[in-house]
Amino acid sequence: MIDVLVIGGGNAALCAALMAREAGASVLLLEAAPREWRGGNSQHTRNLRCMHDAPQDVLIEAYPEEEYWQDLLKVTGGQTDERLARLAIRASSTCRDWMRGHGVHFQPPLSGALHVARTNAFFMGGGKALVNAYFRSAEALGVQVRYNVPVDAIEMDGDRFKAARIGSERIEARSCVLAAGGFESNREWLREAWGQNADGDWPADNFLIRGTRFNMGVLLKFMIEAGADAIGDPSQSHCVAIDARAPLYDGGICTRVDCVSLGVMLNRNAERFYDEGEDFWPKRYAIWGRLVAQQPGQIGYSIIDAKAVGRFMPPVFPGMRANTLAELARQLGLDEATFVRTIEDYNAACRVGTFDHTVLDDCHTEGIAPAKTHWARPIDTAPFFGYALRPGITFTYLGLKVNEHAAVHFGGKPSANLFVAGEMMAGNVLGKGYTAGVGMAIGTAFGRIAGTQAAAAALRRPGHDAFQEKQHATS
Ligand SMILES: Cc1cc2nc3c(=O)[nH]c(=O)nc-3n(C[C@H](O)[C@H](O)[C@H](O)COP(=O)(O)OP(=O)(O)OC[C@H]3O[C@@H](n4cnc5c(N)ncnc54)[C@H](O)[C@@H]3O)c2cc1C
């Protein structure tokens, strides 16, 4: 019988598999996707948010634990477990050497308008290179990997894991790590979670899924129905406003449009609906999907002028471009008169001080609602640009409740041999909101913990006492 069964093929699963194998366990990893689509949402990532008290290899200045924690506290509005959050934060300061040991490379610090050279370490080659490196390392260490195996059921004996099932096939193991993502790819479940709004729309029908099509939440649902303790609200997720032309799945990072804070955002009625300059974009980009989802028809329009060009990461696909506001309104299919009036009202309300997109500057509006509190400058310089945006769901926050050992809980009691990591438990730390790079920080920290714990649980049997002692001595 295999020691540790890991279910999933993304960052959390791979971290767990590598740690369990390094601890001496035999490991089998089951990935639902075919080999060419392996790596879940992790293949689309770019960076990891890292705590550090002084400049560290690719990170400039310092990003101490307390600041990281305060950032998380702010975006989650307190809906977070401080103990688990701090555990992930601390682990983010020490994991990069281990990652490098498994073939992950980091880029030199970025400069410019991204604000993240201090807080986030970027993967060379992105998440695809990271998961490829981990798969290579795992296979070199003897982890068995199977593709095209969507696990559909888990067999338990009380709160102990017994076996995983894929149709009629049954795979037993001494312990198991669940790392099969959230339920963001399951459109029916999203529809149910978001429900119907007052206009009779089903908002989730207009969502695009930014990542993998394989995170259907089958095991999340199965475990909750089997009595595992759940955490989080099914309608909470990381949801970004992305290019409305994106494909239904796997549009990834190239569908991002990052100019919202430099202009205004309008809805289908050509009206503004939220403060575009509330905070730095990396701290705010993940609220805009939800905001657009609450607008009629679940569509928004980001409008900028020539002054904004060059101040944000240019979108891969060009937006609409026009020499007058009226022409832009026509191109976007918005009511021309309302569009022009909205922009003119906004322009008249701008109180321009010293524009600086790298700080929370003093350019703001007065006398309009909603206000724009920073980076408010009139949209008055041709050419004008507009991007239609739709809610792009990144990952859901409903998850399984864990303790600091990543154990799945049943009625408040931790399982001795079933663990969970990544999106399947991110809701313990992220009740709502997001700050860039935290998904990979949670997955890396808890994937590594889950793998270590699963190995210990599997090897805690006659003939393996020495291992157990070693684990205790080093934990
Ligand atoms: C476009 C995009 C960009 C992102 N950028 C960043 C970033 O830069 N930094 C950051 O921190 N986070 C980012 N995220 C979020 C990040 O991807 C997740 O937080 C993280 O990858 C989650 O890792 P995971 O291993 O839990 O899930 P995943 O990587 O999604 O892996 C889940 C795995 O489980 C498999 N699976 C699902 N169901 C089953 C089943 N029943 N049986 C077997 N296998 C199954 C899937 O095929 C997949 O391999 C981004 C997400 C997207 C979509």
pLDDT tens for each residue of 246-285: 999 999 999 999 999 999 999 999 999 999 999 988 778 8
Average pLDDT, the chain: 94
The verdict on 362 and 466 lying in the same domain is no
Cβ of 41 below 6 Å from ligand 1: yes
If pLDDT is split at 50, 70 and 90, which confidence band does 112 have? low
Which residue puts its alpha carbon closest to atom 13 of ligand 1? 45
Judge whether 210 lies within some domain: no
CATH of the domain at 260: 3.90.700.10
The verdict on 340 and 376 lying in the same domain is yes
Q: How far is the CA of 7 from the centre of ligand 1 (A)?
A: 12
Cβ of 32 below 6 Å from ligand 1: yes
CA separation for the pair 4, 142 (Å, rounded): 13
Q: How far is the CA of 178 from the centre of ligand 1 (A)?
A: 13
Q: How many CA atoms lie within 13 A of 56 on its CB side?
A: 21
Judge whether 201 lies within some domain: no
If pLDDT is split at 50, 70 and 90, which confidence band does 287 have? confident
> Of 361, 392, 423, at which residue does a domain stop?
392
Cβ of 135 below 6 Å from ligand 1: no
- The whole domain housing 360 covers 238-392
Judge whether 209 lies within some domain: no
pLDDT tens for each residue of 6-35: 999 999 999 999 999 999 999 999 999 999
Q: How far is the CA of 44 from the centre of ligand 1 (A)?
A: 8
The verdict on 107 and 132 lying in the same domain is yes
> Of 374, 392, 410, at which residue does a domain stop?
392
> Is the Cβ–Cβ distance between 281 and 435 less than 8 Å?
no
Cβ of 151 below 6 Å from ligand 1: yes
Judge whether 178 lies within some domain: yes
pLDDT tens for each residue of 394-426: 999 999 999 999 999 999 999 999 999 999 999
Q: How many domains does the chain have?
A: 2
CATH of the domain at 154: 3.50.50.60
List the one residue out of 307, 304, 319, 210 whose CA is nearest residue 259.
Answer: 304
Q: How far is the CA of 41 from the centre of ligand 1 (A)?
A: 3
Judge whether 434 lies within some domain: yes
Cβ of 253 below 6 Å from ligand 1: yes
The closest-lying atom of ligand 1 relative to the alpha carbon of residue 12 is 25
The closest-lying atom of ligand 1 relative to the alpha carbon of residue 218 is 41
- For residue 191, what are the contacts with CB-CB under 8 A and spacing of at least 6? 202, 204, 205
Judge whether 198 lies within some domain: no
Judge whether 74 lies within some domain: yes
Distances from the Cα of 323 to the Cα of 43, 314, 315, 329, 382, angstroms: 39, 19, 20, 11, 5
The verdict on 348 and 439 lying in the same domain is no
Which residue puts its alpha carbon closest to atom 5 of ligand 1? 45
Q: How far is the CA of 248 from the centre of ligand 1 (A)?
A: 16
Computed from CA positions of residues 153, 176, 396, 405, in that sequence, does the dihedral angle turn out positive or negative? positive
The pLDDT value recorded for residue 108 is: 87
The pLDDT value recorded for residue 313 is: 86
Whether residue 463 is predicted with pLDDT greater than 90 in this model: the reply is no
The pLDDT value recorded for residue 466 is: 45
